[in-house]
Structure 1
Amino acid sequence: MSRGLPVPGSPAQGPPASRGRRVYVGCAGWSIPKSLSASFPAEGSHLQRYAARLSAVEINSSFYRLHRPQTYARWAATTPPDFRFAVKMPRAITHYGRLQDLTVLPEFLAGPRELSEKLGPLLVQLPPSLVFARDVAERFFTALREQFAGRIACEPRHASWFGTEAEILLRRFRVARVAADPPPVPQAAVPGGWEEWTYYRLHGSPRLYYSSYADEALESLARRLQQDAKDKSEVWCIFNNTAAGAAHENALSLLARLERQDRD
């Protein structure tokens, strides 16, 4: 199958392996490192070139600032039909507001809605210092669910979020708990919460955001994702080791391993 090259202003053709697949592989951001430029098509924007090879991306810039709805609409219009976007919730809600100040929530949600069918999960990453408080979490997820019915992934980083009470609450609100590497606590290494689908975030280990994953780790991860895909509606795997360009290389390598496993 010929991939073709993306044409600016029109949707690109996506990676063949992503078509019909329930496993989405991508990075936290689509800016392509110069060292990997030859691994992507030569023409088009960074997003168009990225989307020609990988099936999903996690928008992290939304954590720092709100994007206009027109921006999300443009991203949707210039990517393949089965490409998907995960969108990180603003720090104004998760870090500064600590799940209690939801003033910007309606304005934030207006953007991702423009992605339409290309919208994947919302990512709620919590600060390491945020202790689980049932009343606060319940009010937050109630408000979020009143305005958003789609997939939600939560990445807690305080040990108190890994107890039974938090697990029950996440399941009640249909929120998947992220499986993170390196895990802040042992339980964080595996998915939790709502288990109808899974979301993996790989931050680089041993050096956070920098380290590349070895072949053995990627091979093991590929088997794990394929196993999850047998009984989950969707499986997401996002590489966040972007500081030195390892994320894109790891994502491409993982995708190749998944393709080989599909053929075997």
Structure 2
Amino acid sequence: MPVIATAGWSIPKGVAQRFPETGSGLARYAAVFDGVEVNSTFYRRHQATTFERWAQSVPDGFRFAVKIPREITHERRLRAVDGPFGTFVEEVSALGGKLGPLLCQLPPSLRFDAADAGDAFAAMRKTFAGVLVIEPRHRSWATPPADALLARYGIDRVLADPAPVSPAEDFPEPARYIRLHGAPRMYHSSYSNAEIQSFGDRLAVDGWCVFDNTASGAAIENALTMLDRPA
């Protein structure tokens, strides 16, 4: 079954009745959803005890998708990432079997460079054998050489909306990871039922669909709609 999730686990009052009344925010969220995307790791490091506490707060089948630090993607720009990536994986490994995909979101200014990307992906795969997904934001990544390199290292391209690089039509197979940021206003706009159904139809059976339109509280509402849709 695919994982329907949001970025973070903040529950707006408008849908609070769908969740248990007691418990931590994460525990209440995890009573309804099977996964969550953690974005805070992009900005700062977390102690292993934080990841351990999160893992203990959720059911056995729950998974955490975790965003790779901006030091790797935005500051180092995929160069010399061995050390910081190894540290990151060591930290998130405290989630144990509840660790899901690692998300690599690239800056809009980062062009595809086969040498830099190849070295970075090789370093990542030396440390992490799990699901690794990438959301490039420069058009140079929408090319056969980039596709070939991603395939070589078993890295799945994110189906993002809005799509700065690869629109949904560019995905011949169901997507392993969908990120819905909200359109037309990113992080705010809500999706219609028809749009949610359309993205759900494009999702792989073992994939993730993450609603990132959290600024207005629409993410949880949209995720619940997708969760409730007919199979």
TM-score for both structures, normalised by structure 1 = 0.83
TM-score normalised by length of structure 2? 0.94
Q: Matches of residues 100-179 of structure 1 in structure 2 within 5 Å?
A: 100-102=79-81, 103-179=83-159
Q: Is 1:203 matched up with 2:209?
A: no
3-state secondary structure, aligned to 1:92: helix
Residue equivalent to 2:8: 29
Residue aligning to 2:224: 252
TM superposition shift of 1:39: 2.1
In the alignment, structure 2 segments of 5+ residues that lack a partner are none
In structure 1, what is the Cα distance between the partners aligned to 2:169 and 2:122?
Answer: 25
Q: Which amino acid aligns with 1:203?
A: H
Corresponding residue number in structure 2 for 1:42:
21
What amino acid is aligned across from residue 192 of structure 2 in structure 1? A
TM-aligned CA distance change 1:192 to 1:104, over 3 Å: farther
The 2-side partners of 1:76 and 1:148 are apart by 19
Q: Superposed, which structure 2 residues align to 1:46-125 within 5 Å?
A: 46-102=25-81, 103-125=83-105
- State the alpha-carbon separation in 2 of the partners of residues 101 and 66 from structure 1: 19
- Code of the residue aligned with 2:29 in structure 1: it is Y
1:64 is displaced (CA, Å) by: 0.4
Contact 1:57 1:85 in 2 (8 A): yes
Q: Tell me which amino acid in the other structure corresponds to 1:222.
A: G
Alignment of 1:223 onto 2:204? no
Moved >6 Å (runs of 4+) = none
**Aligned residues of 1:177 and 1:191 also touching (Cα < 8 A):** no
Paired residues of 1:132 and 1:166 also in contact (CA < 8 A): yes
- Unaligned stretches of 5+ in structure 1? 1-20
1 CA distance for matches of 2:224 and 2:139? 32
Contact 1:94 1:125 in 2 (8 A): yes
What amino acid maps onto 2:18 in structure 1? S
Distance 1:143 1:86 in 2: 20
CA contact (8 A) 1:43 1:49 kept: yes
Q: What is the CA deviation profile of residues 199-242 of structure 1, one whole-angstrom value per residue up to 9, with x for unaligned ones?
A: 000000111100000111112223333xx32xxxx111000000
| TM-superposition CA deviations, 1:104-124 (whole Å, max 9, x none) | 222211122111211110000
Percent identity reads: 49
Measured on the aligned residues, the alpha-carbon RMSD in Å equals 1.7
